[in-house]
């Protein structure tokens, strides 16, 4: 057995090991972030439906960040997996299985299968080819769902989605209280999983592949297999996010598969900051809140401001809003001599 | 002694252009073998075929008695064939410690469980981190092992090129111009690293710096226009008039 605690380190590595260890630990800001999300439940009881949408979009954005930020795979069709998950959960609930967790599992399985199969098409080309192939797959699925009205309801959406109580105990209520806690619990669980994955040797190897695929091959990394793997996993999470939307709204609209959703998601991740774990959630919150506020004034202005926001973040913020926040943190720490 | 790495009638052409022409290279166990030749002689093309990033047009490649002509590049590494690059090909955003640990974990991956690889943090891999640090110390990179690779001075980056290849624990090491671009003042450090390579590693060195080649190599192969001109000891090569003509000096008068 290669025990962990028993192995002693050479003293000279010790400080480096400690520095790496510090990066892996949960920071106070992270704990505050999740506590803040829990506090939303009490502070904004009338906006929980909207808050759930933000979280779901954040989770969906995190799944894109896994492949875009950590593995360097560009895509314009990530909504395909969101939609697969939404329809899987919706159809399952419509045709008899009302347990929400079963819906999540079904969504993860379907979207994961979709991700695995499509990865062989997506991962062969360069960036431009990947954009086009993911776009193509997204359009294809959208049109299939649009035409298969008997199954999906087409443009009218999937009606009659009935979701039972969670664990047979907690019924979804009209104000979306249970729904918010449910979405928060699922998002947090998946976040913890993803965080562990990115801090692990596997996460390191992904960063290596993004950094320099030629070298990654030259040190023996089976790149294709690893990218297929992360692509599948990201698709599963996107599927779960789609399922959460289907379950909490008890409806599946055709636009879960729309190109607009994929494109918005890309914007969200880039504004929030790629490869930062939290960028997806931050970006989703900024995007949806801004959209909500500004679109009320005038829809044209929304796109105008969005355009400005995009240009500014791309030009001036290295890794989006999260990158900016991290830079401020570094400056403050340096200023006050905190490690 | 048997050949650890061997090519048989290896050919590579791009369109009508023959860049590797019936090369029969033999790398003996523990060899210090240099591959020289003028610019455009096809040295790097040959290395790329050996490493598996370029498929030969015909002929075969053998590692330790097994044919590896069709084997994907990453599997060749697992079988003990590692390389460095003429132009730095590093993980710019990782620190040297992370990069070398990454290599070591990749090498050990079959001995680690899924949990260890995916869900336990990197700092649980103490043995691998320790080994990485030890290797970096040997190459005088210990002080810089936590900086981002892209911030390292060029000479240090050249050494890291070697470190990444050595972390694979190769049986055969292909060095593609390790001294390329290294200023005179820093090249001594590189020389000594080359001199201290473990004796059981067989080395194929491509190099333009003739001083380095003649200091390091016990056997030299001269490649001209993709074909082997001749192979021999450094003395034989230095004295051969054909080599003088095509490579060492075209100054006639």
Q: Cβ A212–B137 below 8 Å, yes or no? A: no
In a domain, B253, yes or no: no
Q: What was the ipTM of the complex prediction?
A: 0.92
Q: Which residues of B touch A196 (CB under 8 A)?
A: 118-121
In a domain, B202, yes or no: yes
In a domain, B142, yes or no: yes
In this prediction, residue A339 carries a pLDDT of: 60
Number of domains into which chain B is organized: 1
- Taking only residues 117 to 146 of chain B, the set having a beta carbon closer than 8 angstroms to any beta carbon of chain A reads 117-127, 129-130, 133-134, 137, 142, 145-146
For chain A, which domains are there? 47-336 (1.10.3470)
Q: In this structure, what CATH number is given to the domain that contains residue B15?
A: 3.40.50.300
Q: Which residues of B touch A199 (CB under 8 A)?
A: 121-122
Pairing, β B58-63 against β B3-14: antiparallel
In a domain, B107, yes or no: yes
In a domain, B86, yes or no: yes
Residue A99 near residue A216, CB atoms below 8 Å: no
Alpha-carbon distance A236 to A89, whole Å?
Answer: 13
Domain span including residue B174: 3-248
Express each pLDDT in B171-223 by its tens digit: 999 999 998 888 887 888 888 889 999 999 999 999 888 888 999 999 999 99
- Measured in degrees and rounded to the nearest 5, phi and psi for residue B146 equal -110, 5
Q: At A3, is the pLDDT very low, low, confident or very high (cuts 50, 70, 90)? A: very low
SS3 A171: coil
Express each pLDDT in B107-147 by its tens digit: 999 999 999 999 999 999 999 999 999 999 999 999 999 99
Residue of B18, B21, B9, B11 whose CA lies nearest to B227? B21
Specify the pTM: 0.92
Over residues A212-216, mean pLDDT: 95
Q: At A191, is the pLDDT very low, low, confident or very high (cuts 50, 70, 90)? A: very high
Distance between start and end Cα atoms, chain A: 35
Alpha-carbon distance A183 to A53, whole Å?
Answer: 9
Q: Cβ A220–B105 below 8 Å, yes or no? A: no
Q: Cβ A212–B168 below 8 Å, yes or no? A: no
Distances A330 to A2, A49, A315, A325, B92 between C-alpha atoms, Å: 36, 35, 20, 9, 20
Q: Does A6 touch chain B (CB under 8 A)?
A: no
Q: Cβ A16–B97 below 8 Å, yes or no? A: yes
Express each pLDDT in A279-326 by its tens digit: 999 999 999 998 888 777 777 777 788 888 888 888 887 778 888 888
Q: Calculate Rg over the CA atoms of chain A.
A: 21
């Amino acid at each position: 057995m290669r025990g962990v605690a028993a192995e002693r380190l050479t003293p000279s590595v010790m400080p480096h090991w400690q520095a790496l260890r510090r990066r892996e630990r949960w920071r106070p800001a992270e704990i505050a972030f999740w506590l803040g999300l829990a506090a939303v439940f009490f502070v904004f009881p009338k906006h929980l439906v909207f808050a759930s949408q933000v979280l779901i979009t954040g989770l969906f954005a995190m799944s894109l960040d896994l492949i875009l930020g950590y593995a360097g795979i560009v895509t314009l069709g990530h909504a395909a997996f969101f939609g697969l998950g939404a329809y899987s959960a919706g159809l399952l609930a419509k045709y008899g299985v009302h347990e929400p967790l079963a819906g999540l599992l079904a969504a993860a399985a379907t979207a994961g299968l979709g991700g695995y199969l499509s990865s062989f098409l997506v991962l062969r080309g360069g960036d431009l080819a990947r954009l086009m192939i993911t776009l193509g797959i997204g359009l294809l699925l959208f049109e299939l769902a649009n035409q298969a009205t008997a199954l999906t309801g087409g443009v009218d959406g999937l009606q009659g989605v009935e979701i039972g109580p969670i664990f047979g105990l907690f019924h979804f209520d009209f104000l979306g209280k249970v729904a918010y806690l449910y979405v928060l619990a699922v998002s947090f669980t998946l976040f913890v999983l993803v965080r562990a994955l990115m801090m692990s040797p596997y996460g390191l190897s992904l960063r290596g592949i993004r950094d320099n695929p030629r070298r990654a091959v030259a040190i023996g990394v089976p790149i294709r297999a690893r990218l297929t793997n992360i692509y599948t996993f990201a698709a599963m999470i996107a599927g779960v996010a789609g399922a959460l939307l289907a379950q909490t709204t008890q409806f599946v609209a055709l636009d879960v598969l729309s190109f607009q959703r994929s494109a918005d998601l890309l914007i969200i991740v880039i504004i929030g900051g790629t490869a930062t774990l939290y960028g997806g959630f931050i970006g989703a919150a900024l995007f949806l809140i801004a959209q909500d506020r500004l679109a009320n004034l005038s829809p044209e202005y929304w796109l105008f401001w969005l355009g400005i926001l995009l240009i500014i973040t791309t030009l001036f913020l290295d890794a989006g809003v999260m990158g900016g926040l991290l830079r401020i943190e570094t400056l403050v720490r340096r200023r006050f001599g905190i490690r | 002694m048997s050949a650890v790495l061997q090519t048989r009638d290896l050919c590579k052409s791009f369109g009508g252009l023959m860049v590797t022409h019936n090369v029969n290279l033999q790398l003996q166990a523990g060899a210090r073998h240099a591959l020289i030749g003028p610019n455009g002689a096809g040295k790097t093309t040959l290395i790329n075929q050996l490493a598996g990033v370029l498929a030969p047009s015909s002929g075969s490649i053998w590692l330790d008695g097994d044919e590896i002509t069709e084997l994907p590049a990453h599997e060749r590494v697992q079988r003990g064939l590692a390389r460095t690059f003429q132009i730095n090909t590093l993980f710019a955003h990782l620190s040297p410690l992370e990069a070398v640990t990454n290599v070591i974990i990749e090498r050990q991956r079959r001995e680690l469980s899924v949990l260890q690889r995916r869900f336990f943090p990197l700092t649980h891999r103490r043995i691998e981190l320790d080994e990485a640090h030890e290797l970096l110390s040997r190459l005088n990179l210990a002080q810089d092992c936590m900086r981002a690779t892209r911030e390292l001075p060029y000479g240090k980056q050249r050494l890291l090129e070697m470190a990444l290849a050595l972390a694979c624990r190769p049986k055969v090491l292909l060095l593609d111009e390790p001294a390329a671009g290294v200023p005179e003042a820093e090249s001594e450090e590189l020389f000594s690293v080359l001199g201290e390579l473990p004796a059981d590693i067989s080395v194929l060195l491509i190099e333009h710096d003739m001083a380095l080649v003649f200091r390091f190599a016990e056997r030299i192969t001269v490649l001209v226009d993709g074909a082997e001109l001749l192979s021999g000891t450094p003395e034989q090569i230095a004295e051969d008039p054909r080599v003088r003509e095509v490579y060492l000096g075209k100054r006639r008068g």
